[in-house]
Amino acid sequence: MEFPGKQKLVAALDAAVARAGGLDPTIPVAAALCRLQADPAVRLPAAVHTPVAGQYARRELHLSPEHGYSVVAMTWAPGQGTPVHDHGGAWCAEAVWQGRLAVDDYLPVEHQDPYWRFAPAGRTEIGTGGSGRLQPPDEYHAVHNPDPAQVAVSIHVYQRRLLRCHVFVEDPAASAGWLRREERLLASDALD
């Protein structure tokens, strides 16, 4: 999918990943995303601004043949969000392109598969132009759009194409405070 400024976005992300030289790439990638969000030459495809009913939308914008990272635009209608989840051991940097997101971080306390228990580890609200990042093993979090009226759009750069992750969901059969771990396949929504 081509869009105005895509080559600029890809060049900046390639340079950020290469500059990391095997160290934590989330720092330069997050910084690059913030610069790109403020650049009027980079305009995301129009479809990225349209939410999907019943779930947040995931739309892959780029897969780097050289570095292997994936760029995914996510669209969040008011109130939409994720359950507690992981990224399957992959790092991630993100920037809010429009609106704002709330990110709740969690630390695993104990688990007896398939059940896990978490402790809250903080909340961050990220507004337009702001960024966040995660580096495993600190990858357990939930994300949602806290705005009651505005659609939020975020760009996520993952270490690799994220095809599956684990989600942690309430289960009536579980003791209070325990969540059931499930593998979830991640699809990409259409860009047209």
Question: Would you kindly state where each structural domain of the chain is located, as residue ranges?
Answer: 6-185
Q: Which residue has the tokens 């992959």?
A: 90
Q: State the Rg of the chain over Cα.
A: 16
Q: Is the C-alpha dihedral spanning 80, 86, 87, 93 positive or negative?
A: positive
Q: Look at residues 148, 191, 151 and name the one whose alpha carbon lies nearest to residue 45.
A: 191
pTM listed for this prediction: 0.95
Is 6-185 assigned to CATH 1.10.10.1590? no
In order along its 192 residues, the chain shows pLDDT tens digits of 799 999 999 999 999 999 988 789 999 999 999 999 999 999 999 999 999 999 999 999 999 999 999 999 999 999 999 999 999 999 999 999 999 999 999 999 999 999 999 999 999 999 999 999 999 999 999 999 999 999 999 999 999 999 999 999 999 998 899 999 999 999 888 877
